[in-house]
Amino acid sequence: MLQAGQAVKVTVHLNQDTGSAGGFLLDDLFKFLRANGVEGATAFRAYAGFGAHHQLHISGAGDVAGLHLPVILYFIETREKVESILAELLSLVTDGLVEAQPTEILKSATNVSRVIV
- Architecture of domain 5-100 in CATH? 2-Layer Sandwich (3.30)
Predicted pLDDT at 64? 55
Give the HSE-up count for residue 20: Cα atoms under 13 Å, Cβ half-sphere.
20
Per-residue pLDDT, averaged over 105-109, amounts to: 92
Give the model's pLDDT for residue 63: 46
Pairing label, strands 23-24, 97-105: unpaired
- Tell me the pTM: 0.85
Residue range 9-66, pLDDT digits in tens: 999 999 888 888 888 999 999 999 999 999 999 999 988 888 888 888 887 755 454 5
Q: What is the pLDDT of residues 57-80, one digit of tens each?
A: 887 755 454 567 899 999 999 999
What letter does residue 114 receive in the DSSP assignment? -
The helix (run of H) or strand (run of E) holding residue 28 is helix 25-35
Find all residues with CB under 8 Å of 53, minimum gap 6, and list them: none
